[in-house]
Structure 1
């Protein structure tokens, strides 16, 4: 098996295909790279309007309500060298806890034991969260911030208002607490419309078949 971080698993970074414009000092959100490309591609005015009207440093009341009804969140992390990982966390509505307008938390349930996301967070606290409503409003919410890992018992001792999940298979081992730095809308234009279907979930199982097993045939292809 090739390690995720071995030289064989990494491609050298691609060379830039365009010369980017110089970036003037700014007090707007976003990276130097995105501001450089806004200048190069002529979108700085449009981006500036979006920053001014949509990007906030906290969860607005409508955002907090949106978070509380979500059943999934996509989590983006990277290690200290910038090697990235994207993963999914899910649970019943309310599994994402809004602690206040600048803090939210999500539970870490029993998984495959790899701890890719948590390992990255232990090296690099920056995280990006994306929540999408595929069913009703077809809209999304980005939350970027810094994260810390808290074991379940200390978390509940500090946050007694966060209910404990009654389902035995959904008892979290720990929580990831995210300090919100940016929150902004994700355009609905390309979000597909989906319809809910009844599904029984094997929460907490270690049965390989019910977890998906070797779905992609990796075991026989070293």
Structure 2
């Protein structure tokens, strides 16, 4: 395993080096970097149309319904130094809990003990969530916001209406509560169509073979 090395320089950006954001740009969604590149690449009008028509600071009713039927979410985090991680969280429909139109939460089940995503959140609360419907409507939903880690007992005391999952292996050890700052659609153009097949999930197992084991041959590779 090669440890992270802060001394290694970040790969140089391929973006134009003389790009600057508009001086008197009005307050709007997105980062200074994306605004600057919109100017550099001539996409300001398309971007502004998307911001005004699609980006919202809360979950709209159709978004709430979408979240509640999802069985997985991709979670993007980074630590205080900007080192990134992307991970998958999954569960039965409803495992993603909408607490209100500006707050959602997902459970943290027993895992490999590394806590990569939670470790990043403990240093840097910013998170990006991506939910994709591969089967029915072929559409996605982005949710960006800030997260906090809440231990299970405290979570249920704070949100007593959220039921506890009785299934073995799906008892949450803690929850990640996300305050929504941006919510917007992900284009269906390149989302593949998939079909569900019957699957038995081994919730809660520590059997390496049933968890995927050493699939990539890392154990015996220095």
Shorter-normalised TM-score: what interval?
A: over 0.9
Cα displacement (A) at 1:15:
4.3
Distance 2:95 2:13 in 1: 42
Structure 1: gaps spanning 5 or more residues: none
Q: Does the residue aligned with 1:93 lie in a helix, a strand or coil?
A: coil
1:20-49 CA-partner distances (Å, limit 9, x unpaired): 432113311000110011001100000000
Q: Residue 221 of structure 2: SS of its match in structure 1? A: coil
- Scaled by the length of structure 1, what TM-score is found? 0.96
Structure 2 residue 29 is matched with structure 1 residue 29:
yes
Deviations 1:54-110 (A, max 9, x none): 000000000000000000000000000000000000000000000000000000000
What SS does the corresponding residue of 1:131 show, helix, strand or coil? strand
C-alpha displacement of 1:166: 1.5
Moved >6 Å (runs of 4+): none
Provide the C-alpha distance between the structure 2 equivalents of 1:219 and 1:82, rounded to a whole number of angstroms: 28
In the TM superposition, 1:173-188 aligns within 5 A as 173-188=173-188
C-alpha root-mean-square deviation of aligned residues, in Å?
1.3
Pair 1:147 & 2:147 matched: yes
Q: C-alpha deviations, 1:155-186, integer Å up to 9, x for none?
A: 01111111111202100100000000000000
Deviation at 1:2, TM superposition (A): 1.9
Tell me the matched-pair count.
220
Partner of residue 75, structure 2:
75
Query: Matched residue of 1:132: which SS?
Result: strand
**Structure 2: any 5+ residue segments left out of the alignment?**
none
For residue 19 of structure 1, what is the aligned residue in structure 2?
17
Matches within 5 A, 1:105-184: 105-184=105-184
Mapped pair 1:52 → 2:52? yes
CA 1:6 to 1:22, structure 2 compared with 1: closer, same or farther past 3 Å? closer
Instruction: Give the distance between the partners of 1:153 and 1:170, measured in 2 at CA.
Output: 15
Residue 219 of structure 1, CA deviation: 1.0
Distance 2:35 2:5 in 1: 32
- CA–CA separation in structure 1 for the residues paired with 2:14 and 2:135: 38
- Tell me, yes or no, if structure 1 residue 6 matches structure 2 residue 5: yes
- Kept in 2, the 8 Å contact 1:128–1:143? The answer is yes
Question: Quick one: distance in 2 between partners of 1:160 and 1:70?
Answer: 22
For 1:26 and 1:20, locate their aligned partners in 2 and report how far apart those are by CA, in whole Å.
Answer: 21
Q: Do the aligned residues in 2 keep the contact of 1:20 with 1:37 (CA within 8 Å)?
A: no
